[in-house]
Structure 1
Amino acid sequence: MPPIVADSCDAGQLTSPPGVSAESSAHSPSSDLNHNPHTGVIPTPRAGRADLQELFLRLSPRLSVRVDTKNSSGQWQHKYVERRLPDRAPRGPYAVYLSSFFRRFRWICFDLDTKRGDVGPDLATLLRWVEEAGLTYVVAASGSAGGRHVWVAAETLLDDQLVKSIAVAAAKRLPTLDYGLLKSRTGAVRPIGAPHRNGGRSELMSPQDPRRAAALLTPASCGNASDAFVRLLLIIDAVPAAVDVRPLIVGQDQLGEVIDDDGPRLAGTPKTALDRETMALLTRRPPADRVSEVCGSLLTKLALRRWSQPMVARLLEDRRYREGGLLHLCTSPAVRPLRVLLTEAEVEKKFERQWERCVAYAARLPIPQEALEWTESLADAVAQVEQLQAAADACPERWATESGPADRAALDLFCLLALRSGSAVLSLDVRRAALATGYGRSTMHRAFGRLQLDNWLGNSEEDSGPAGTYELLPVTASHPAFILSAGGGTQRNLPPEGGNRTTLTSHLEKRLAAGQADLFGYGRATENHAGGLGHHAGRVYQQLVLHGDRALSLAELCEHTGYSARTVSKHLGRMQTLLVATRAVMTVHHECPTCQAVPGERCRTAAGAVHRRRGADQHTTRQTLAAGRSGAPYYRSRPGALVAAAQALGCHGVTASRARRYAVEIELYRWWQQEEEWMRAPKAGIRTGVQTHQEQTALVLTTLARQPRRRYPRTADCRGDHAAARARIERRIATA
C-alpha cells in the first residue's frame, strides 16, 4: 500500500511549470519553494518549451498513476492498473489522478465523449459557463475521434462534494459529459500528450501555446479561486434541464411516488418473486470491470419492483449475494482484479447512499407494463380505450376528411397515454403532442377542439396541469360514431368490454410511429418547406404496417381508411415510386366452389374420383376464382425505406427541427414567467450574489438562500426584448 500523503499542502507552494517565464510566476508569494512536496525533487526549468506530461506528473496529487495493460497479442486492452509515480511519462496509455487520497481535487476535467452524441454544442455551452464564472481553462483533444477534455485547475484543493455537485448538475444539461470520474475517488484522466490505445495522443487545442497552457494548469498561476467554482455551480443550476427529461403527461402513475418509511422506496405493493434476469444479476459474480454497473442495475430493478430498503438489506446477509450482484456494496476497488473488503459500518453507509440514488433514478423512469398493477381504475381505462378504438374504426369516413388524420392521431395519443397511466384524465401540452404525432402545434390545438366538439374529449373539472387537462369521454349509444349513414358503419351496438392492454398499446404505438415519419409530415412543396407525401398517405401506410403479417388488397385498404379506390391508388403509386410500399405477388391455393375441395386438395367428381378432363385437374369455377384473385393487386410496406424516401424528397429532419424550435419556445416562456414573478415580488432589502452570514467562514451549498437571477433582455424603453432572449436561449442550449 503506498504511503499516505498529507492533504494539507497548499497549491500556492508549487513551482511554476517548466518553460514558464519568471514573469508569469512572479506574483506567487511562495515561488521560492520550487519543489514537489511528494518527491522532494527540485525540478529544473527548461527554457523555450513546456513539457505538459512532466507538468502533470510533477503536480500529481498522489504518488501513483494508472497505467494501461496489454493482452497476450500485445494490444492495449483498456484495463488500467495502479503503478508508482514515475520520473518520466510512460510510453503507453496512462492516467493521472484528479484528487488526492483524501478526495480533494486539484483539477476538474470535463470529459466529453462522442459515444454519447455531438460534442460540439456541449463544448460551446460548457466553455460559456466556465467563462461566465471567471475561470481559466485548457481544452485538449482526448485522442479518440472527436472527444474533448476541458481542464480547469484550482488554486486550492477543492472539496469532493463541490466537485460532485458541479458534475451532476452539468451532466443533466450536457448529454455527452462522462461525469463518473468526477464522482469517484479513483477518477483519473489521460494528461495532455499521453498516447491513446487506438493510436494518436491527447493534443493541446486551446491555448495553442504550451507555455501558456502550462501556466493555466498550474495552481500557483491559474487564478481560479475556490469561490469561482461555487459561481460555476450556481450558473449551471440556473439553466433548466433538457426538455426531453420532462414527463410527457401530468397524470397519476406517470412518475413513481417516493415514500420514506424505514428508507426510501417507490409506492406500491412489493413483488417478491424475481424474474430470471434479476436472479442472474443477483447470484452471479460480475466481471471485474462491471461491478458497480451490475449493482446499480440490480438495485434499480428491485426499486421498480417496489422493494423496500429493509428487504434489500436482508439480501446482504447472504454470502451468495454479497459475492454476486451486491459485491460493489461490500468492497471497494483496488488494484485489479483485487478488491478490498469493507467493514459492516462502511457497507451499511454505502448501501444507504446507493439505494437512495437508485430509488430516485427509478422514480424518474416510465413505469413498465409489468410494474403497473391491474387495479379497477386500470381495467376501466383499458375497457374505455378499447371501446373508443372500436368506435373510431367503425367510422373510417370520419378520419378521411381534410383534418381527419390529425384528429385520429390526437385521439390515438390520448388512448395510448390512458393505457400507460391507467387514467382517463390526462394533461397534455400541444407541443409535446405535436412531437409525438408528427404534426404542428397549431394543428394539434385545432384537433383537440374538434375532438371536444364531437364528444371524444371533454374538459376535466380539475385543470391543475401546466397545459389543458382533458378527459376521455366514454362511448354511449348517442355518440356521433354510431350516428352514421345507412350505407355502412356499425349496427348501433356498443363494442364489448375487456381486451388485452399489451395488444392495444402495441397497436397504438405502431400506428403513431408510422404517422410520425418525416416522409408524411408535409403536403405540397412551398417556398417555406419541402414537400412530403402528406398525412393522408400516412394513413394508408399505417394500415400496411398494422397488417404487416399479410398483404392487403386495394379493397381492404379502402375499407380500413374510408378513402375511395382512386385516392388509395394515388397514394400507393407515390409510395411505390419511393419504394416505401411494394406490390405483393399472391401465390396461394384456392377452394373449389363446385366440389367444396379445401385449398391444397384436387377437385373430385360426384363419384369421388379425381376430376380429370382434358388434362385439367380443377373445375372451371375454381380456375375462374383463382384467376380473379390473382388479378387483384396486393401491397406490403417497407419500413426500412422511410428515411431514404424522406431524404429523396428533401423533407428529412423536419421533426427534429420542430423539436428544437419547440424547446426554445418552452424555455423562452418559462424565462419570461420567472421575470414576471420577479417583477411582482417586493424589492425591499434584496441583495445580489451569494449571501452568507458575517461569521460564516465556510460556504455551505445547502444553505444558500437563493440562486442568482438571470436578467431578461430589455429594449431601450425597458420592455422585454423577446428576440434577444430567444437568441440567447438558442446559444445557451446549442440548438442553432
Structure 2
Amino acid sequence: MSPYTRDEAWAIARSLSPRDTIRVAARAASGEVLNDYHRLVPLDGPAPSTTWAMLLAGDDQLFRYLCFDFDTSQGNAARDALRMAYWLDELNIPHLTCISGPSGGRHVWVRLSAPADAAAVRDLADYAHSILPTLDTKPLQNAAAGCVRPPYAPHRESGFSDPQGDLGLISSHEAPADTVKQLTALLIDLGAELPATETELPKGAITDAAGNPKIMGVKRRLSMAMEDTLRGPAGPDASHTLSRVLIAAANARWSYDDIVEAVATGAAGLEHARTRRVGDKRVKRTPASTAKVLRNIWNYAVRFVATHPLNATGDDPEYRERIADVTTVVQQALAAADAVPGLWAARNPRVGGTRSQRAVLDALCLYMLQSSRHIVEADVRRLSADTGYGRTTVSDALRALCGTWITRVAEAEGVHAARYALAERFSPGEEGTSRTQARMRAEHKPTLPLQQNLIHEIGTRLELLRHDVFTAPHSLGRTSGLIFQHLPEDGTLSTAELMKETGIDADLLRRRLRRLHASGLIERIRGGWRRYSPGTRDLIAKRLGVDGYLEERRKRYELERAVWAWWQAEVVWMERRFKKRKGAKAIFVGNDRPDFVAYPRGPSKRGDHRRARELVLDGILDRELVLAA
C-alpha cells in the first residue's frame, strides 16, 4: 500500500514534471482503466480518478529525464534493471529504481542537469535495447509524447510505482550534463550496436549455407604476423585486437564458422568475444553475448574487406582522416537534399527531381559510408535491390542526378559497374586514391557512432519504402510509401507537418492518407497520424495479392548478373593468348578456365545467351560465382 494518498502522489508528479500538463489514462465504459494515455490534463487541477504518466521532455522537445522502462512480458526485467543500475553506479550517475506495478516491471529514473537532444536520447535507447532486451524504447524515442508513470503513481490494475530508494535521488540530485554521452559510450564499449538494416552485399561477398557473409574464394592461412596476433595476448584494447583479427580472417577467406571455432579453442586474440571489460577486470560473456559481438564485427569485417583493397603492408594510414571526410560530405549532401523536400516529390517534368532520384542518392551515400570512400562502384541491379525501384528507373535517376548531386567518375567496363562520387560542391578535396571501394584498415576499431548512426538512419529510410506493398503493380504506390516512411511509429505528425516533410500537395496527401488508413497501415489519433509497425506491411501485401514481387525481381536480376559474369569470363578467355585448344569444345569438357565452364554456343558458334540462362537456372555454375556476380 502506498504511503501517500492519491492527492499527495499527484502533488509529487506536479513537483517533478518538466511540463505543466501530464498524460492521464482513459477509462472504458465498463469502468476499466485502459493502458491509453492520449489525454492531456493540466497539473494544477485535481488528481484524476485513473492514473497518470509524466512526460520526459519539456515543451522544447528536449529531455529533462531519462526513464528506462523494463517490461516483464519481454523477459527478466528485474535483471536488466539491475544491470542498468550497476552501469549508472559505475558512472556515478544518481538514479532511482521503481517497481512499476503488480507484474514486477521496473523503471530506472535519471534526472538530467541539462536538457538532452532527442536524437541522442533515441540512439541511447537503441543502444541500450540491443543488450537489455526487456527495455521498452518508446518513452525515450518520442520527445513529444514519451511518458512514464512517475514514482508513487497508481497502477491501473492495482498497487503503485514503488521507489526502491530515496525520492531525493531524482527530486534533489541531477545527473551531469554529459550523462547521455557517457552512458552511450559505455554501452558501445559493452558491445551495444544500433539495429542494422540489410542491404545487398558488395561485389565479392557472398553468403554461406548458414546465411553468414564471407568473401568468395578458397580459405588460406593468416599471415605470420596476424597468426601471432590471433594466438597472442589481446592486449589492453581487446576489442581493437578482435577487429584486426576478424578483418584479416575475412581477407583470408575464412568463414564465420572458422571464427566461432577459433573462439571455442581459446585463441587469446579473440578474448573480447569471450569476456567484456568491467572496470579494470574482464567478466565472462554469456553465449548469446559472445555470438552477438562476433556476428556484428564479422558482418562489418566482411563488408569492409569486400570494399577496401589492402596495400602491400595491409595498412591504410589515411583511413581515420578519410572516414571523417566521407561522413562530413555525406552529411552535407543529405542536409542539402532534406532542405528541398518538394523537389523529390515533384511530378512536373520541368522539375528535375523525383522520389526515385532521392532514393538512389540515399543508397549511394549509404555505400560511401559503408566503404569509407568518396568513390563507390554501383550497378543498377544492386541499387534496384536496395531502393525497390526497377533497373530502368534507377538508370534514369542516375543520369538525372549527375552534375547537380553526383559525378560519374568512371563508366561501366566488363564486370565492373560505373563509379560515382558526390558532386564537387560537397567535396572537401581530392580523393587520396583512384581505387573505387577501398579495403578497411585492419588496425581500425569499427565503432564510430556518427558513421554508424548515419548508416542506420539511411538504411532504415530505404527499408521502410522498399516493400511489395508500395512497389508492386496494383499496390498502394510510391506516394503512399513516402508518407509511411515519414510517419513515426511512436508519436504523431499532423497533415500540415506531413505536407512540409514530404512536399506532397494537400489534395493528394489527404487521398493517400485515407487509403493508407483504410488498408490498416496507419492510424489517426489525437494530434495527427502515426504508422503501425513495419511488419504490418507483409499482411497488407498478402491481402492485396502483391507479396513476393520484389523477391521475384531479385531472383531475375541475380540470374542476369550470373549470365553476364559468365559471358564476360568467356570474353576474357577468348582474348587470352596461348590458351589451350582441344578441338571442338563441349560445355562439360575440361578446359583451362579456372572458374567458369565454357559458354554455350549455337550452330553459328555465337554465344547462346538463352541456353546460358537455362543452364544457370539448372545450377551449372558454382553457387559462389552466382552469388558474387
TM-score by length of 1: 0.40
Higher-Rg member (1/2): 1
Which structure has more RCO (C-alpha within 8 Å, separation ≥ 6)?
2
